[in-house]
Amino acid sequence: LTQISDNVQRGNYAQLNDKDVSHFEQLLGKNYVLTEDLEGYNICFLKRIRGNSKLVLKPGNTQEVAAILRYCNERRLAVVPQGGNTGLVGGSVPICDEIVLSMQRLNKVLSVDEVTGIAIVEAGCILENFDQRARDVGLTVPLDLGAKASCHIGGNVSTNAGGVRVVRYGNLHGSVLGVEAVLANGQVLDLMSNFKKDNTGYHMKHLFIGSEGTLGVVTKLAMLCPHVSKAVNVAFIGLNSFDDVLKTFVSAKRNLGEILSSCELIDQLALNTALQQFKFLNSPISGYPFYMLIETSGSNGDHDEEKINQFISQGMERGEILDGTVTGEPGKVQEIWKIREMVPLGLIEKSFCFKYDISLPLRDFYNIVDVMRERCGPLATIVCGYGHLGDSNLHLNVSCDQFNDEIYKRVEPFVYEYTSKLKGSISAEHGIGFLKKDYLHYSKDPVAINWMRDMKKMFDPNGILNPYKMLN
Ligand code: FAD
Ligand code: 2HG
Ligand code: ZN
């Protein structure tokens, strides 16, 4: 564990005392006020950041969240909202001794309407559970990511999580129709809406999509859920060069456009690491420099299958695709998806891993991996790239046996400078959190950063909500 939060100067917040704890016990009941065994709430998923919170609160409804924040605001006690704690930028754990506000108990799916496609859900509902409830009536949540068994839908909204279906459904700014959020002063802001169209002034809900718990705590939301597709096919293909990857992506858009639901890239090292770490994974093909996972979702199985098969055979005839497999069998589809989902976990399990989640222009998409391999030389054990090619979002991972300053300095801030020069984004989907806050300026104009600061001050004048995150 690398405690890179060790040298942070504690903000000017009050110290928690016994009276505070009794107050919360009265408010929530003793069972929901934790003062022991807090390790899991204090350490981030990547085990890079460890906070020192002495208190975890588990409210059961919006009013309790509001009462907690009102009290903390008056007392100047700092708070970190926590969902499933699967975030990869250290946003969900305390940096010093902030109170952890766990959303675990706000976990109900309140309604799913088959006709309108709108689901109302509490923020602490686990994504996979939410999706299961939607599927019960033939709908699906338009968001899917490897952390679905633990991440919360409220955490997803607060990070504007991307995942593997953005290419089809767009991001959460489109799918989330409304949110309910509790502000730092305890006010409940009701921005719930059941409509796609609502041009009544400023679209305030967007402020809570991707603001990482710095402006308010999301307690409830309305999600527009599409129907489950009747036919899902997945192709897993091997390719020789990134040039061929790009040609294949263009061909997928041209030939599969209306049924294309995912377009992912995995390079050889990323795949091999996952296969080595998890023996239960079965890759249908192996030995290629690049792999693409292309998924189609449509309403006519025969038609879709014919299309995807033709897409592959034509790609092979042109020599752009070297090998591939297509399946529409649900069990096999899941097996192939499992390979993709386990890639980040394989890298995390194997060794220490620096993770970069960047948007880059497609033509330059993969060059950074080669450049980084060269820069790190033998200091790095693995330098690999994978991610959401269909959204121009690369996950660059640099591994070494353990955290060491020499490699850290080779990689950062170089990777951010490189991304900035190409006008990319230093955080495509994971957010800024604690780990990336010093680098925000590489992607954001100084005028915009100042407005962000002003907004933060307006929403949270005492700075109690998720301090030490996003903004310096
Ligand atoms: P947390 O980690 O608990 O919190 C994340 C941030 O949101 C923190 O700043 C926290 O303070 C804030 N927050 C949480 N809940 C609330 C709330 N109710 N109100 C206000 N603020 C809140 N991310 C992607 O975008 N795409 C991927 O494909 C993807 N794949 C992943 C795969 C794996 C294996 C792992 C481990 C992570 C992956 N992630 C991915 C990152 C992570 O899962 C997402 O960022 C996810 O949205 C975080 O949800 P969470 O509930 O775990 O939030
Ligand atoms: C994914 O797409 C996640 O698998 C994780 O966003 C990426 O760990 C990473 O680098
Ligand atoms: Zn991702």
Domains along the chain with CATH numbers? 109-224 (3.30.465.10), 231-345 (3.30.70.2190), 351-430 (3.30.70.2740)
- Amino acid making up residue 363: R
Decide: 192 and 166 in contact? Cβ < 8 Å: no
Most informative mutation of 53, 86, 262, 456 for ligand 1 (most atoms within 8 A of CB): 86
What is the chain's alpha carbon radius of gyration, rounded to the nearest angstrom?
23
Q: Can you read off the two tokens belonging to residue 97?
A: 């001794």
Nearest to 467 by CA among 37, 170, 81: 81
Ligand with the closest atom to the CA of 86: 1
Please give the Cα distance from 238 to 240 (Å, whole number): 7
* Proportion of the chain in helix, strand, coil states, percent, rounded to 5: 40, 20, 40
Q: Compute, in angstroms, the gap from residue 466 CA to the centroid of ligand 1.
A: 14
Is there a cis peptide before residue 413, judged by omega within 30 degrees of 0? yes
Number of helices (H), then strands (E), belonging to the chain: the values are: 16, 16
For residue 340, the ligand 2 atom closest to its alpha carbon is 4
161 CA to centre of ligand 3 in angstroms? 8
Ligand 2 lining (C-beta closer than 6 Å): 88, 146, 344, 355, 357, 387, 395, 397
| CA triple 459-163-381, angle to 5 deg | 105
Asked if 140 and 151 touch (Cβ cutoff 8 Å), the reply is no
The angle formed by the CA atoms of residues 148, 425 and 96, to the nearest 5 degrees, is 65
Q: How far is CA 379 from CA 303, 400, 402, in A?
A: 50, 7, 11
Cβ atoms of residues 464 and 94 within 8 Å:
no
Residue nearest to atom 21 of ligand 1 (CA): 213
Kindly state the tokens that stand for 356: 């970069």
CA 244 – ligand 1 centroid, Å: 33
Q: Are 57 and 448 in contact (CB under 8 A)?
A: no
In this structure, the residues whose C-beta lies within 6 A of any atom of ligand 1 are 45, 80-88, 91-92, 103, 123, 145-147, 151-152, 154-156, 158-159, 161-163, 212-213, 217-218, 344-345, 429-430, 433, 466
Cα–ligand 1 centroid distance for 155 (angstroms): 5
pLDDT, mean of each 10-residue run, the chain (472 residues)? 72 98 98 98 96 98 99 98 98 98 98 98 99 98 98 99 98 98 98 95 97 98 98 98 98 97 98 98 96 97 96 98 97 98 97 97 98 97 98 98 93 98 98 97 98 98 98 94
pLDDT on residue 267: 98
Q: Using CA atoms in the order 388, 392, 393, 399, what is the torsion angle rounded to 10 degrees? A: 90
Element (H, E) at 218: strand 217-224
Total Cβ atoms within 10 A of residue 417 = 13
169 CA to middle of ligand 1, Å?
19
State the sign of the Cα–Cα–Cα–Cα dihedral 370, 376, 378, 382: negative
Residue 420 CA from chain centroid, whole number: 21
Extended strands (E) in 67-187: 79-82, 99-102, 109-112, 118-122, 176-182
Q: How far apart are the CA of 223 and the centre of ligand 3, in A? A: 21
Nearest CA to ligand 2 atom 2: 387
Distance 88 CA to ligand 1 centre (A): 7
Return the bridge partners of 34, or none. 56
Residue pair 179/157 in contact by the 8 Å Cβ criterion = yes
Cα-to-centroid distance, 146 and ligand 3 (Å): 8
Please provide residue 293's backbone torsions phi and psi, each rounded to the nearest 5 degrees: -110, 115
> What's the pLDDT score for residue 7?
82
Which ligand is closest in space to the CA of residue 435? Answer: 1
- Taking the C-alpha atoms of residue 19 and residue 35, their distance in angstroms, rounded to an integer, is 13
pLDDT at residue number 1: 52
Specify the residue with its C-alpha closest to ligand 2, atom 8: 344
ipTM over 0.95? The verdict is yes
Strands 382-388 and 260-267: antiparallel
| Closest ligand 1 atom, residue 86 Cα | 52
pLDDT score, position 4: 61
- Which residue puts its alpha carbon closest to atom 9 of ligand 2? 344
